[in-house]
Structure 1
Amino acid sequence: MKILICSDSHGLTDELIELKKRHGDMDYYIHCGDSELTGDHPALDGYRVVKGNCDFGSDFPEQLMLRAEDHTILVTHGHRYQVKSNLINLRYKALEENANIVCFGHSHMLGFEMVDDILFINPGSLRLPRGRSEKTYIILEIVGKKKILHVYDVNHNQLFSETLE
């Protein structure tokens, strides 16, 4: 199973379309909010999208729950869980939803970590990265219990990969 995860594109459209063209073999395309586009915008076609704090008037849901093999994925923007300071509130939400993978954005900072057997993934930002110069997204590959995270910049250069079990 392969899942493309992006966030915080803040009005970009060509980049979202190009991601789908470049990576056409994904099982899911996830946008963790702050697209600043409408739900019917062609650039979001095929993406599962949640509402971010800059998605005013959108009809996107606050969160999504997805199944990927034996995994339950919670997708949210993160602003309602104070993710800029820590993951504790988001961890409680993941436990409440029985999620073992959480995808979120909001901070514009690329990162991922395992906390109590829950994988937290922030793909960074396609438009305004913080903490690094590259505008990033992630492809999560799930093979059994193994999770392989491939980190790319918006120019489709693979920056690095990491395997978690």
Structure 2
Amino acid sequence: MKALIMSDSHGWSEQVIEVVKRHEKEVDVVFHCGDSELEQQSTALKNIIVVKGNCDFGSDFSEEREETVQGVKFYIAHGHHYNVKMSLDLITYRGEEKQADIVCFGHTHIATSFQKNGTVYINPGSLRLPIRPKTQTYCICGVEDETITVRFYTREGEEVTELKTQYEK
């Protein structure tokens, strides 16, 4: 199972379409962790599971989503309601509460992943306005057997190898 995860594209549609087209044949699901600043009916968001970020002002999107893909339980939120810019404690509590295998969130514009109490947490960074690294990023999370692999890519599709991580499920 593979999931393409992006966040914080802030109004970009062509770039979102470009990233999805690049990987559409290799992934099973696409998540956008909020601040798309697009309407739900936007062609850029077709077939993408999207949550509402703090810069998404319509009521089109859910604040959070739970999705199970090929037996892997995902919890997706933007992260602003969990104060992720100050601490990751609240988002980790929520992930445990939801009994998620993988938690996807955005908001900080910082590409990272980590594991806590058996749950993997992924922030794909920002597709448009990155903070760290300074490169525009998204990621692909793959689950095979008991291994979860998280690979980050630049908007142009080049792997950011220093961010690659593997976790035991």
TM class, shorter-length: over 0.9
Q: Deviations over 1:57-90 (max 9, x none)?
A: 2310001101133321100000000111111111
Inter-partner Cα distance in structure 1 for 2:125 and 2:29: 18
| Structure 1 counterpart of 2:149 | 148
Cα drift, residue 99 of structure 1: 1.0
RMSD: 1.0
Report SS of the residue matched to 1:3: strand
Q: Deviations over 1:111-144 (max 9, x none)?
A: 0000111101000000100122110000001102
Report SS of the residue matched to 2:94: helix
Q: Percent identity?
A: 41
Inter-partner Cα distance in structure 1 for 2:115 and 2:149: 13
| Structure 1 counterpart of 2:45 | 44
Report SS of the residue matched to 2:96: helix
Amino acid at match of 1:154: R
Inter-partner Cα distance in structure 2 for 1:155 and 1:58: 31
1:21 aligns with 2:21: yes
Inter-partner Cα distance in structure 2 for 1:147 and 1:128: 27
Inter-partner Cα distance in structure 1 for 2:134 and 2:91: 26
Displaced runs of 4 or more, over 3 A: none
Inter-partner Cα distance in structure 2 for 1:88 and 1:81: 8
| Structure 2 counterpart of 1:12 | 12
Inter-partner Cα distance in structure 2 for 1:28 and 1:71: 11
**8 Å Cα contact 1:125/1:136 also seen in 2:** yes
Inter-partner Cα distance in structure 1 for 2:88 and 2:101: 14
What 5-or-longer segments of structure 1 have no aligned partner? none
Inter-partner Cα distance in structure 1 for 2:84 and 2:46: 27
- Provide the TM-score with structure 1 as the length reference: 0.96
**8 Å Cα contact 2:112/2:124 also seen in 1:** yes
1:162 aligns with 2:165: yes
Inter-partner Cα distance in structure 2 for 1:97 and 1:162: 23
Report SS of the residue matched to 2:93: helix
User: What is the aligned length?
Assistant: 165
What 5-or-longer segments of structure 2 have no aligned partner? none
- Provide the TM-score with structure 2 as the length reference: 0.94
